[in-house]
Amino acid sequence: MLQRVLIANRGEIAVRIIRACKQMGIETVAVYSLADKDSLHVHIADEAVCIGGNSAADSYLNMENIISAAVNTGAEAIHPGFGFLSENSQFARLCEDVGIIFIGPEASIIEKMGDKAMAKKLMIEANVPVVPGSDGEVSLEEGLNIMEKIGCPLLIKASAGGGGRGMRVVHHKDDFEKAYYAAKQEAKAAFSHDGVYVEKLITNPKHIEVQILADRYGNVLHLGERDCSVQRRNQKVIEEAPSSLDKSIKEAMYEAAIKAARHVNYVNAGTIEFVVDDTGFYFIEMNTRIQVEHPVTEMITGIDIVREQLRVAGGKHLKYKQEDVVFKGHALEVRINAEDPKLNFRPSPGLIEMLHVPQGLGIRFDSAIYTDYAIPPFYDSMIGKVIVHGYSRLDAIRKMRSTLEELVIEGIPTNQSFLTMILMHPDFVKGAFDTGFIAAHLEGLLTYET
Ligand code: ADP
Ligand code: ADP
Ligand code: MG
């Protein structure tokens, strides 16, 4: 088993991972930027190392300093969390080269599945249904040819994409060229790689993803699916498990996800993402890391996914077999962001003057904030997640509403009321929503009192 793990991340996910390590008797090393010296993850780890200045480029993306910190503190493994270096194959390879265990799949697997265009090719090989589109990255000319075949609307997507960036919709043929260069430019700025591919835009789909776990001994299992259709600009806002899909579709998706994982000899936790409409389900990408929304799956299965990641990385067999995985009740997660929805969701870092978190059966608050903590302006605006577990979907919705009503975060604007507006919306309650829900109802969702 692992004895000492370095956590190459910050915020709520760093705290989440440190807690899992402590519960397993594993020592922890936190790393932090100058701006994060008072952060919760620094306080609760056994040891903490400053790895650089405020910007992510200087610190949480600084591979050399992170590897040095691991070597100097005797950490035998690095957990990358999500975002930052979590899907960076160069970093995973660097870890392999210096004999540090990267808690995730091998560098070669990240390479294959992290390039979204390449991943689609592999999925076609594995007989997993994918969204129709180009066969890999395209030049302008090749893209135009694909458009002739599949028609509009279509999407131009960055093969290095993530977090909803590097993506452009084309509704009319004449707009293709402009969108092509815009997507390339955004991809270059965000991911330093400007390759793009083209796929059909599935109109009004649901985003459904399947969580999988795999160990080094060929055992692969799924932990069911999550519905992450409530999105703003292709970024998830509310997630839940299970979804409302028919049992037969769910089962076909589980099978496809396991086939996908087996095809690339996948090891550790991963997620296969699909868009789903009346005609079927289509692979869009695989995330080769722990995801933000993993707690909803933990709530309905009782399985600690980070613990399984640590066990698998330490060379153990998965603790569960497929028949041990049973789903109970319904779980919902909302992402709490330091942002002001009424000012076009402008980030709102600053001092938390007061924090009050309600407690109760089936209520979980994953965050790194505390009273008197100042949220630095340099990183992602997500500051925490509220997760609830209920007997049924309606029960979970009610529990989430009452939890948000009681949650107090004073000092900065957050999206808390905006989230409540979604939870009150009759279409959301009925389950009549798809990835266009927020855009379609935005005006109404912003009518809360401040
Ligand atoms: P997921 O599929 O897990 O939602 P995304 O592709 O949306 O993942 O991106 C990963 C997540 O990582 C984002 O939701 C975002 O909240 C988080 N993230 C990205 N960059 C940072 C950062 N600099 N600090 C904290 N979290 C980040
Ligand atoms: P990222 O790496 O940024 O997470 P994804 O490929 O997972 O990118 O897409 C993000 C979101 O964009 C999806 O959850 C979905 O809402 C939307 N999307 C992506 N591809 C398609 C598609 N072909 N048709 C319709 N919506 C799509
Ligand atoms: Mg995605």
233 and 149 in a common domain: no
**In this structure, what CATH number is given to the domain that contains residue 297?**
3.30.470.20
Give me ligand 3 centre to Cα 411, in Å. 32
Q: What is the pLDDT of residue 352?
A: 98
Atom of ligand 2 nearest to the CA of 157: 6
Q: What is the pLDDT of residues 309-321, one digit of tens each?
A: 999 999 999 999 9
73: containing domain: 4-103
310 and 387 in a common domain: yes
Asked, for residue 172, whether it belongs to a domain, the answer is yes
Stretches in the chain below the pLDDT threshold 50: none
314 and 166 in a common domain: no
Q: What is the pLDDT of residue 382?
A: 98
**In this structure, what CATH number is given to the domain that contains residue 15?**
3.40.50.20
83 lines ligand 1 (CB under 6 A): yes
Atom of ligand 1 nearest to the CA of 290: 3
Q: What is the pLDDT of residue 296?
A: 98
407 and 264 in a common domain: yes
- For the chain, the maximum distance between any two Cα atoms, rounded to a whole number of angstroms, is 60
* 300 closest CA partner among 222, 237, 368: 222
Q: Which residues pair with 5 in a beta bridge?
A: 28, 77
Asked, for residue 273, whether it belongs to a domain, the answer is yes
131 lines ligand 2 (CB under 6 A): yes
Q: What is the pLDDT of residue 105?
A: 98
Q: Which residues pair with 263 in a beta bridge?
A: none
Taking the chain, what is the end-to-end CA distance rounded to the nearest angstrom? 50
Atom of ligand 2 nearest to the CA of 202: 24
366 and 262 in a common domain: yes
Asked, for residue 37, whether it belongs to a domain, the answer is yes
* DSSP class of 280: E
Q: What is the pLDDT of residue 163?
A: 85
Active site residue 289: yes
Which residue has a Cα nearest atom 10 of ligand 1?
83
Rg (CA), the chain: 21
| Residue 209: partners with Cβ closer than 8 Å, 6 or more residues away | 225, 226, 228, 271, 272, 273, 274, 291
199 lines ligand 2 (CB under 6 A): yes
Tokens of 160: 């290095």
11 lines ligand 1 (CB under 6 A): yes
Q: What is the pLDDT of residues 92-129, one digit of tens each?
A: 999 999 999 999 999 999 999 989 999 999 999 999 99
Q: What is the pLDDT of residue 335?
A: 98
3-state secondary structure 330-383: EEEEEEEECEEHHHCCEECCEECCEEECCCCCCEEEEECCCCCCEECCCCCCEE
Tokens of 200: 């059909």
DSSP E strands: which ranges in 133-259? 154-162, 165-170, 196-200, 206-214, 220-232, 235-241
- Rounded to the nearest 5 percent, the helix, strand and coil shares of the chain are 35, 30, 35
340 and 292 in a common domain: yes
Q: What is the pLDDT of residue 192?
A: 86
428 and 303 in a common domain: yes
Which residue has a Cα nearest atom 21 of ligand 2?
201
